[in-house]
Amino acid sequence: MLRVSEIFYSIQGETTTSGFTSVFIRLAGCNLRCSFCDTGRALEGGEEMDIPEVLKWIKSLKPFHHVTLTGGEPLLQEDAFTFLEKLKEAGYDVQVETNGSVLLDRVPHGVRIMADVKTPSSGEAASFKMENIKYLGENDEIKFVISDREDYDFAKTFMAEHLADVKSVVNFSPASGVMSTSELSSLIIRDRLPVRLNLQLHKIGDFQ
């Protein structure tokens, strides 16, 4: 059984899959309370749906081929792992967006992981489970949301100390309306950081 906040068909706004259509399944509930959370309605509540019912919904939306499991924090729900397996078995290209605080050892092979490392401005900077680094491969991605210079320095130091041998794409995302894209770009160029500037396409394009 899954506790579902919403299911919708839209365009992926972040990471290297941005710009592609996807079906989004947003599971309810989160163990963190980030200062900049823009999915407050998913922190609690949700409707109970069984996995076959959700798979039927996805099929009815006739997705391109891509499905995104998001939240809240989707991996808090025990059945999320079985659901990811079923999506892969059904032939979808599947990604899961996680806040990084839940152990990733049971994410099925072939599911792309998009893991956040929370920065100081989120108020949840100590939440990343360091053990997760070993589960992140070249098809997975890491994201830092940067609000200010303290966040930038935190992300840069974290990369140097913990991600030097990690093959995943690292995204630096300017916090919408807080950090200017040009300032973050300048810092990335100045420091020659091997990261991807991640703009939140859904906020630029004003879609969900």
Alpha-carbon distance 21 to 9, whole Å?
7
Binding part of the chain for ligand SF4, among 19-27, 65-73, 83-91, 157-165 by CB under 6 A, reads 65-73
Alpha-carbon distance 29 to 22, whole Å?
21
203 binds ligand SF4 (CB under 6 A): no
User: Among residues 84, 113, 88, which one has the least CA distance to residue 98?
Assistant: 113
One-letter amino acid at 60 equals S
How many helices (H) and strands (E) in the chain?
5, 9
Q: Closer CB to ligand SF4, residue 17 or residue 127?
A: 127
82 binds ligand SF4 (CB under 6 A): no
74 binds ligand SF4 (CB under 6 A): no
58 binds ligand SF4 (CB under 6 A): no
Residue 127: alpha-carbon gap to chain centroid: 14
Binding part of the chain for ligand SF4, among 49-57, 67-75, 107-115, 199-207 by CB under 6 A, reads 67-75
Helix runs in the chain, H state only: 51-60, 80-89, 149-162, 181-190, 201-204
Q: Which residues contact 7 (CB under 8 A, 6 or more apart)?
A: 23, 24, 25, 26, 54, 57, 58, 61
Hunting for tokens 């991605």 — which residue is that?
A: 141
13 binds ligand SF4 (CB under 6 A): no
Q: Closer CB to ligand SF4, residue 30 or residue 87?
A: 30
User: Among residues 143, 146, 141, which one has the least CA distance to residue 183?
Assistant: 146
33 binds ligand SF4 (CB under 6 A): yes
104 binds ligand SF4 (CB under 6 A): no
41 binds ligand SF4 (CB under 6 A): no
Candidate residues 3, 49, 55, 73; the one interacting with ligand SF4 per rule CB under 6 A: 73
Binding part of the chain for ligand SF4, among 34-42, 60-68, 155-163, 169-177 by CB under 6 A, reads 34-42
Q: Closer CB to ligand SF4, residue 101 or residue 168?
A: 101
For the four alpha carbons of 194, 71, 112 and 108, in that order, the dihedral sign comes to positive
Binding part of the chain for ligand SF4, among 46-54, 66-74, 82-90, 129-137 by CB under 6 A, reads 66-74
125 binds ligand SF4 (CB under 6 A): no
Q: Return residues touching ligand SF4 (CB under 6 A).
A: 30, 32-34, 37, 39, 71-73, 99
